[in-house]
Amino acid sequence: MESATSTSDGAGMETGAAIADAVRNGELTREGIVRLLEIADPEELQKLFIAADAIRQRFVGSEVFLRGIVEFSNFCRRDCLYCGLRLSNRDLPRYRMEEGEILAAAHRIKAAGISTIVLQSGEDPCQSTVRICRLIRRIKDETSLVVTLSVGERPLGDYLAFREAGANRYLLKQETSSPELYARFRPGCRHEERQQCLRHLKELGYEIGTGNIVGLPGQNTADLAADLLFIREIDADMVGIGPFIAHPQTPLAPCPNGSPAMTLKVLAVARLLTRSTNIPATTALATIAPQGWRDALQSGANVIMPNFTPVVYRGLYEIYPGKSSASTNVPDFPEMLEQELRDSGRIIGTGSGFRKRQEISG
Ligand code: SAH
Ligand code: SF4
């Protein structure tokens, strides 16, 4: 990626002006975003993070919301070049959790005082519409948890059925807004279709989450700026931004990981642009930078997603290596988190944690 040019006074002033504009009205041009993403000077970087943190405080306050994630199947019909669950990874033992096991995980999430369950999987052809709907209904009946789905691209009729069964939110990262990178890294998938899925989900009344992978091979800061503008244009409610992590059993094994620093910059700009969205400190960041989730919480993030996948399966949901030992994993995490948050003036969120669009007072 290109390095910064903002060390001279003139460029430094322009960077300062771009931050000020973003703070004032959340407006940034693609050039302005690129300028912020290319900051290298530590003092300017600090200014960016402080500005994002202030906007986070103004629009979503000091609450940090927890979402319990259950990775219920690692079967996938897709072959994304970056992902360890890709169909061509024949070395990976596959699993599919039973409905009873998923429900038990939902009860553990509820018992931990967490109000949202995130059900995530590969694009598993055996997860029929009926099966997923029954699961959503049972979770709703037995726990009343808010249900977030992250099961990939499905036909509009499925999204409708899941919504009618009670699903509230849907995570579907765009991954990259560059048509070239998308075509290269997601063979057999169409960029327009993924965007169409997001529009359908929005029309059906879901809270939608989207986002990108930072540091994909060949990606530059202009691509990342386009990702950020898309996130705003689609009016995402949740924004997931994580670094690329090379998986040894994929064609991208020899490629360098995305940089934690760039990931934090993208996250900070996302907060400046989108104001009131819910933005997690992602597990991917916590995997390659053990302190990454703390940094993310101070650069615009307000959500953490502890992993409630049973330990027997956790190591097999290896989208990228090291994920199962990420520093944000349960069981010790929630207790430790509460203490830490208190020390830094933050609290664990209560209530359902839907997006609040207006600035909070006081
Ligand atoms: N199959 C669904 C959900 C599971 S994948 C889907 O693709 O939407 C969840 C996320 O994992 C993806 O959105 C992608 O951003 C991320 N991911 C996959 N492989 C990764 C890698 N090697 N490094 C970082 N993130 C990765
Ligand atoms: Fe499957 Fe999602 Fe991985 Fe692509 S990113 S291979 S769709 S699990």
pTM recorded for the entire structure: 0.95
Residues 221 and 332: their CA atoms lie apart, in Å, by: 37
Closest Cα to atom 1 of ligand 1: 122
Confirm whether 5 is domain-assigned.
no
Pull the structure tokens for residue 79: 């072959």
Q: Is 85 in the pocket of ligand 2 (CB under 6 A)?
A: yes
* Res 1: pLDDT: 44
Which of 63, 64, 57 has its CA nearest to residue 361?
57
pLDDT in tens, 263-302: 999 999 999 999 999 999 999 999 999 889 999 999 999 9
Whether 4 has a pLDDT exceeding 60, the answer reads no
Ligand 2 center–CA 165 separation, angstroms: 24
Q: Are 19 and 51 in contact (CB under 8 A)?
A: yes
Confirm whether 305 is domain-assigned.
yes
Q: Domain holding 73: CATH number? A: 3.20.20.70
Which of 354, 349, 171 has its CA nearest to residue 276?
354
Backbone angles phi, psi at 141, to 5 degrees: -60, -45
Closest Cα to atom 12 of ligand 1: 173
Confirm whether 262 is domain-assigned.
yes
* Res 5: pLDDT: 43
Of 76, 83, 227, 250, the one to substitute when testing ligand 1's pocket (max ligand atoms within 8 A of C-beta) is 83
Pull the structure tokens for residue 81: 């070049």
Q: What 3-state class would DSSP assign to 238?
A: strand
pLDDT in tens, 70-101: 999 999 999 999 999 999 999 999 999 999 99
* Relative orientation angle of helices 9-25 and 260-274, to the nearest 10 degrees: 50
Q: What 3-state class would DSSP assign to 121?
A: strand
Average pLDDT, the chain: 93
Confirm whether 2 is domain-assigned.
no
Confirm whether 26 is domain-assigned.
no
CB-based burial, 30-53: b 16+ in 10 Å, e otherwise: eebbbbbbbbeeeebbebbbebbb
> Total structural domains in the chain?
1
Residues 14 and 7: their CA atoms lie apart, in Å, by: 11
Confirm whether 210 is domain-assigned.
yes
Residues 91 and 116: their CA atoms lie apart, in Å, by: 33
- Please report, rounded to a whole number, the percentage of residues in the chain having pLDDT higher than 90: 83
Q: Which residue in the block uniquely carries the two structure tokens 């400046």?
A: 272
Q: What 3-state class would DSSP assign to 65?
A: strand
Confirm whether 233 is domain-assigned.
yes
Confirm whether 354 is domain-assigned.
no
Closest Cα to atom 20 of ligand 1: 83
pLDDT in tens, 298-314: 999 999 999 999 999 99
| Domain range for 84 | 49-347
Q: Are 299 and 49 in contact (CB under 8 A)?
A: yes
Q: Is 242 in the pocket of ligand 2 (CB under 6 A)?
A: no
Of 92, 250, 319, the one to substitute when testing ligand 2's pocket (max ligand atoms within 8 A of C-beta) is 319
Residues 165 and 167: their CA atoms lie apart, in Å, by: 6
Ligand 1 center–CA 34 separation, angstroms: 24
CA 181 to chain centre: 19
